[in-house]
């Protein structure tokens, strides 16, 4: 064993250099994996953003459809009301009959405003969700970039530490 004593610092330095390169590869691999994970999360957030934008547009559309449907129903109601008033001997175009029809029209206008307001409120919620998803995607892209940068610094730090340790081991030979 004494015959190996002069070679031990060189063997230690060589294994230190090998360990340094393994540390460097590990730091790079970790950063790469974390970067890919963050990029994947960013892609998911972008997809969720697009879905929320589509939901907002769809809600506005369905709100419009609801208004058209209500107007059709209201027109049918007005027709039925006019027939009922006429059947009761009340003119739907003057006096009490007219007042009843005007009140029904005011109520219909309120209902239409409520339908439109609810559709817009729902759409705003979806748009807000889309904005939040976009911000989350941007944050994930920032994380990905930072992971890669940290990996480069970690690999360089491992290299510097390993070279320093190896130099110390060789200097003590």
Query: ∠98-99-102 over CA atoms, to 5°?
Result: 85
What predicted TM-score, i.e. pTM, was given to this entire model? 0.73
| Cβ pair 101, 92 in contact under 8 A | yes
Q: Per the domain annotation, does 53 fall within a domain? A: yes
Q: Per the domain annotation, does 147 fall within a domain? A: yes
Q: Per the domain annotation, does 50 fall within a domain? A: yes
pLDDT tens, residue order, the chain (173 aa) = 566 667 777 778 788 888 888 988 988 899 999 999 999 999 999 999 999 999 999 999 999 999 999 999 999 999 999 999 999 998 888 999 999 999 999 999 999 999 999 999 999 999 999 999 999 999 999 999 999 999 989 888 888 888 888 888 778 76
Q: Per the domain annotation, does 1 fall within a domain? A: no
Rg for the chain (alpha carbons), in Å? Answer: 37
Q: Is 140 exposed, middle or buried (0-12, 13-18, 19+ CB in 10 A)?
A: buried
Number of domains in the chain: 1
Q: Per the domain annotation, does 2 fall within a domain? A: no
Domain that holds residue 153: 7-171
């Amino acid at each position: 064993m004494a015959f190996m004593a002069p070679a031990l610092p060189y063997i230690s330095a060589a294994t230190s250099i090998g360990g340094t390169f393994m540390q460097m590869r590990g730091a790079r691999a970790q950063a790469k994996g974390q970067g890919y994970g963050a990029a994947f999360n960013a892609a998911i957030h972008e997809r969720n953003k697009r879905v929320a934008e589509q939901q907002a547009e769809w809600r506005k559309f369905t709100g419009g459809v609801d208004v058209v449907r209500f107007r059709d129903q209201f027109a049918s109601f007005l027709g039925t009301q006019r027939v009922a008033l006429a059947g009761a001997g009340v003119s739907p175009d003057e006096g009490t009959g007219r007042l009843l029809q005007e009140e029904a029209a005011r109520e219909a206008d309120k209902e239409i405003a409520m339908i439109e307001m609810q559709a817009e409120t729902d759409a705003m919620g979806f748009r807000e969700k889309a904005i939040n998803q976009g911000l989350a995607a941007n944050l994930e892209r920032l994380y990905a970039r930072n992971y890669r940068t940290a990996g480069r610094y970690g690999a360089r730090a491992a290299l510097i530490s390993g070279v320093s340790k190896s130099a110390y081991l060789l200097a003590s030979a």
